[in-house]
Structure 1
């Protein structure tokens, strides 16, 4: 089961690691989009979300401070859903549908992140049960 758990962690983390890298590789483009969505301090927001996605994904993939990584992802995902995918403000049917899909995806991923956070933080999953990992799986519980 360790192999399945590691594969699942890597697959879950992959979207965040690649997204975090994209935030930095396409910083100006993403900053322009954040400005379009009226995010105050747009560039700082893009950098912060990119960092949270990148570190959160790496932490989960490696099994190091998994609870912190999952919490970072959950916070960023909920904020992204509300700020960037506010489908309720759209009037074009196609745009509204696309934003609703993105909103729901972000909330589902935030929910999965919170489940991971709760399982690690509560001690319901021990380091041994978590599968191969690098260092301590918990930041908050030592």
Structure 2
């Protein structure tokens, strides 16, 4: 089953590695969106989240403190869902539906990140380090 967990980790982490690339190469665009949502220090937050997504994604793939990486992702994803995908404020039905999908995706990813953190802490098969929370 270790190989199944490894494949799952790779598939999960790809989203965050690609997201990191986007955050770090399209910082201006993303900072403008973050500013429109009222996020303070938008450029700094976009860069910081890009670095976090990249490092956490790599940590999960490589199994380097994957439990910490999973918790860190969840800690970022839940507020991101609430701040950026606040579908309850949308009045246009189509925009509301699209925003709710993004909200649900971020909440589901946070749940998956926590599940991976638990898996790393319980059974770190095919990892470079043991988890911090083992």
Question: How many residues of Structure 1 are paired with residues of Structure 2 in the alignment?
Answer: 134
User: Partner of 1:89 in structure 2?
Assistant: 89
Partner of 2:132: 139
Higher helix fraction (1 or 2): 2
SS in 2 for 1:139: coil
Question: Contact 1:81–1:107 at 8 Å: present in 2 too?
Answer: yes
Aligned to 1:105: 105
Q: Unaligned stretches of 5+ in structure 1?
A: none
Q: CA deviation at 1:140?
A: 4.0
Unmatched 5+ stretches in structure 2:
none
The more displaced of 45-54 and 17-26 is 45-54
C-alpha separation between the residues in 2 aligned to 1:78 and 1:37? Answer: 15
Deviation at 1:137, TM superposition (A): 3.3
Alignment of 1:3-82 (within 5 A): 3-82=3-82
